[in-house]
Amino acid sequence: MTIRAAADGSALGNPGPAGWAWYVDDSCWAAGGWKHATNNQAELTAVLQLFRATAHLADDLLILCDSQYVINCVTKWMPGWKKKGWRKADGKPVMNVELLKEIDAELVGRTYRFEWVRGHANHPLNEAADSRARAVSEAYLRGTPIPTGPGWVRAGDASSPRPAATELAPTVPQTAPALFAFDGEDESGGDEVDVTIRLTATEYERLQSRARARGVRPEQLLKDLI
């Protein structure tokens, strides 16, 4: 049997209040987050927590993901990074390496594949994961209770349910906040430049609105303008 689940992340301000979520159905999902993290960290954590939640099962795993960065990290780039001591082709350290190492450990013995889905394109599972991840980031922003979900609870599954996890503090640096940052990664690492843009809340909401209209994330919209 194949488990079909979506994994997604959200970071208000990127970095900022952040949430991750994986979703199978309304009775089987989990979410968590932090007061301050990046969108890529949230996306990676969603996948990591999905692998952990299903580690007790023999089922194949189909992960629906709207982050090509995450998919490429896991399916293309990690083997080369590991051979180079978790460094990119230009010798620079791989970003989010602790999360990637934890994901790498979870892959042992697993049968899985990723399927890319376009974000904010009304894909039911992706939208469900996205809304739950965003709810966590908004809860951290407002100081309200964190909606963590029931964890792994699947009808007919005799195995013990896996509770939702809410923190991965050691792997997510608690750095000083910025209103917008792009912490992208590429395969070669040779031409990548980190860029930070400070926006007012009104400007960022306008950016998000335009990105949603195009079906992309804010950082991709900005890259498309270059």
107 three-class SS: coil
224 classed as catalytic: no
Residue 225 carries which side chain, given as an amino acid letter?
L
106, 130, 183, 185: the active-site residue: 130
- Residue of 25, 60, 120, 184 with catalytic role: 120
Could you say which of 66, 102, 106, 183 is catalytic?
66
Tell me how far apart the alpha carbons of residues 50 and 80 are, in angstroms, rounded to a whole number.
Answer: 24
Q: Which of the following is catalytic: 13, 43, 104, 119?
A: 43
CA dihedral sign, ordered 42, 34, 78, 111: negative
Residue 33 annotated to the active site: no
Which one from 8, 104, 106, 219 is the annotated catalytic residue? 8
Q: No. of H helices and E strands in the chain?
A: 7, 7
Known active-site residue 56: no
Q: Which residues pair with 60 in a beta bridge?
A: 2
Give the ranges where the chain is alpha helix by DSSP (H): 39-53, 68-72, 78-83, 97-106, 124-142, 201-214, 218-225
Task: Give phi and psi for 175, each to the nearest 5.
Answer: -95, 170
Round to whole Å and give the CA distance between 186 and 129: 25
The residue assigned the tokens 């498309």 is 224
Is 187 labeled as catalytic in the residue annotation?
no
What is the set of active-site residues?
8-9, 43, 66, 120, 130
